[in-house]
Amino acid sequence: MLLIHCPYCKEKRPEIEFAYAGEAHIVRPDAIAQSEMTDEEWSKFMFIRNNFRGEHAERWWHNAGCNMFFNAIRNTKTDKFVMTYKMGENRPTKTQIEAAKK
């Protein structure tokens, strides 16, 4: 079972308190953009995923805790979390990820 640090509760809690919520930083196009999007662009938004083997940005939901969504960088080879951060913060840069590992 994963131990996950919730950036809102500021605490490490067991995985059973959380729900995985898919790849992070996939922005839903606004209404104007939607009306102009091609099928290819929709397909990319809806279905295509990075599915990285390595450091992966993903969303988690602390549904049996504070009920907040947040983002995380997790290594999908080892399942180790590198860092978690609040919703609305930018995707961490390579340097920030490296720094978080130390």
Interface residue list for other proteins (CB under 8 A): 1-2, 15-16, 19-20, 23, 39-40, 42-44, 46-53, 56, 58, 74, 76-79
Give the CA angle between residues 15, 21, 23 to the nearest 5°: 115
Task: Please list, in sequence order, all residues whose beta carbon lies within 8 angstroms of the beta carbon of residue 57, skipping any fewer than 6 positions away.
Answer: 23, 24, 25, 71, 72, 73, 91, 92
> Is 21 among the residues that bind Zn ion (CB under 5 A)?
no
Shorter beta-carbon distance to other proteins: residue 30 or 39: 39
65 makes contact, choosing from Zn ion, other proteins, none, with CB < 5 to 8 Å by partner type, with Zn ion
Phi and psi angles of residue 42, each rounded to the nearest 5 degrees, phi first? -60, -45
The site that binds Zn ion (CB under 5 A) totals a number of residues, namely 6
CB atoms within 10 A of CB 90: 9
Which 63-92 residues touch Zn ion, going by CB under 5 A? 65-66
Query: How many Cα atoms are found within 13 Å in the side-chain-facing hemisphere of 22?
Result: 8
Q: How far apart are CB 63 and other proteins at their closest, in Å?
A: 11
**Binding-site ranges for Zn ion (CB under 5 A):** 6, 8-9, 62, 65-66
